[in-house]
Amino acid sequence: MRSRIIAAVAGLCLLPIAIFAQEFSQVRRTTNAPPKPSGVTPRTADGHPDLTGVWNGLGDNLLGVPNQIANNGLAIESESSTHDLHSGAAIATFPRNSNRPLNNEQSERAAALLRRVGSNRPIYKPEYWDMVKNLDANANEEDPSNNCMPAGIPRAGIPSYIGQTPGYFVFIYPGQGGLIATQTMYRMIPADGRQHTPLQDLDGTYAGEGIAHWDGDTLVVDTWGFNSNTWFDQIGGYFHSENMRVIERFHRDGNILTWTATVDDPDVLLEPWTTTPRVALLNPRPNAMLPESLPCSERDLAHTVTKEHH
């Protein structure tokens, strides 16, 4: 009963995004492979690719599990073929042997495993291995983005909206509802050739101080000046220090935007870590808008009684 109540609440929280997503869900998908790019890449007057647009066509944030699985590194290519995007290893794949819908418990446990099985994991210094594992195991309580806090960078992933001018970019990340409630977040990122503020002069923030430049046709956003209140991802317990630096790379190919982030945090990581590439699809409607996010009001955690992930 409790699971059904939680599911209903989560469903209501997801409703606006679900409605927005409907037009992208009409093709029944049997794989989590991103679509092939189509269309031309528009360019601005200064010759750079124009990234302006609403970019949550594949639901990088919430639509979800197929993309979340891909985010963590599994490419399911057919009923008999899956491989790990990081290591290249083949993963045993089987046709479903039941058409019976999973119940909530089965579905949550399966989704949690599918999001976590990939091999692309940041390598922390050994003294932090147990800490990461314990944060992950207790993520329902420990995840700093629960209780409607900002997801931070790089967890926020691909912005749902990008506005591009010659001198700066605006990124908008709508808040998420449900059991992973996070707050709406925005970034205003200069691309005017300025240098970073010295780290010691910055007050750490959730989004840090991002500065953009072009590397050929790839937009590079270099960010530091973070607080330590976020994780790298929704899963994993991947905490960081205030000494984290994140290099994001955005590349547009027609209607497809590909994003990766490389995290360097010499205080806690043994080596820099690069996320598995994520992909978003452009909303093709000329009048595309981001719907208003519902106010974030976390009401589910108090009803969570197990350590199972959601």
Partner 1 sequence: MNATIPRTVVIAAIVGLGLQSAGAQGALDRGKVLRAAADALGMVRWADIGNGATRLPGVDVVNTMEFQGSGTSYNSGQPVKTEYHVALGYNPAAMRVEMTRTGPAGGAPQHTIQTVRETYAWDESETGGGLVPGKGTATPAVGAVKDRLLQLWTLPYGVVKAALAAGEKTTVSTEGGATVITFPLSGQLAGITVKATLDSKNFVTRVETRPGDPALANLATETEYSDYADRGEVLTDIQSPGHIVRRQGGRLTLDIQVKMWEANDPYLVFPVPANVRTATGANPR
Enter the tokens of residue 117.
């099985």
Count of residues near partner 1 by CB under 8 A: 64
Among 9, 91, 148, 199, binds partner 1 (CB under 8 A): 91
For residues 191 and 169, the answer to whether their CB atoms sit within 8 Å is yes
Separation CA 73–CA 83 (nearest Å): 8
Q: How far is the CB of 10 from partner 1 (least distance, A)?
A: 14
> Can you say whether the dihedral through the CA atoms of 107, 108, 110, 114 is positive or negative?
positive
Comparing CB distances to partner 1, the nearer of 69 and 246 is 69
Sequence-ordered list of residues with C-beta below 8 angstroms from that of 79, at least 6 positions apart, any chain: 30, 93, 94, 95
Helix (H, G, I), strand (E, B) or coil at 245: strand
Taking CB under 8 A as the rule, does residue 30 contact partner 1? yes
Considering only 84-92, 147-155, 161-169, 261-269, which stretch makes contact with partner 1 by CB under 8 A? 84-92
Taking CB under 8 A as the rule, does residue 74 contact partner 1? yes
Among 9, 85, 112, 301, binds partner 1 (CB under 8 A): 112
Taking CB under 8 A as the rule, does residue 304 contact partner 1? no
Taking CB under 8 A as the rule, does residue 15 contact partner 1? no
H-helix or E-strand spanning residue 96? none
Residue with the two structure tokens 């002069």: 201
Taking CB under 8 A as the rule, does residue 76 contact partner 1? yes
Comparing CB distances to partner 1, the nearer of 36 and 216 is 36
Residue with the two structure tokens 């909303």: 283
Contacts of partner 1 in 175-234 (CB under 8 A): none
For residues 246 and 269, the answer to whether their CB atoms sit within 8 Å is no
Taking CB under 8 A as the rule, does residue 243 contact partner 1? no
Buried b (16+ CB within 10 A) or exposed e, 292-306: ebbebebebeeeeee
Sequence-ordered list of residues with C-beta below 8 angstroms from that of 14, at least 6 positions apart, any chain: 62, 177, 178
Separation CA 107–CA 30 (nearest Å): 17
Contacts of partner 1 in 252-271 (CB under 8 A): 270
- Letters for 123-162 (x = contact with partner 1 by CB under 8 A, - = none) are xxxxx-x--xx--xx-------------------------
Among 9, 65, 148, 288, binds partner 1 (CB under 8 A): 65
Taking CB under 8 A as the rule, does residue 69 contact partner 1? yes
Rg over alpha carbons for the chain, rounded to the nearest Å, is 19
Q: Which residues bind partner 1 (CB under 8 A)?
A: 21, 25-26, 28-32, 63-66, 69, 74, 76, 78-82, 84, 87-97, 101-102, 106-107, 109-114, 116-119, 121, 123-127, 129, 132-133, 136-137, 236-237, 270, 306-309
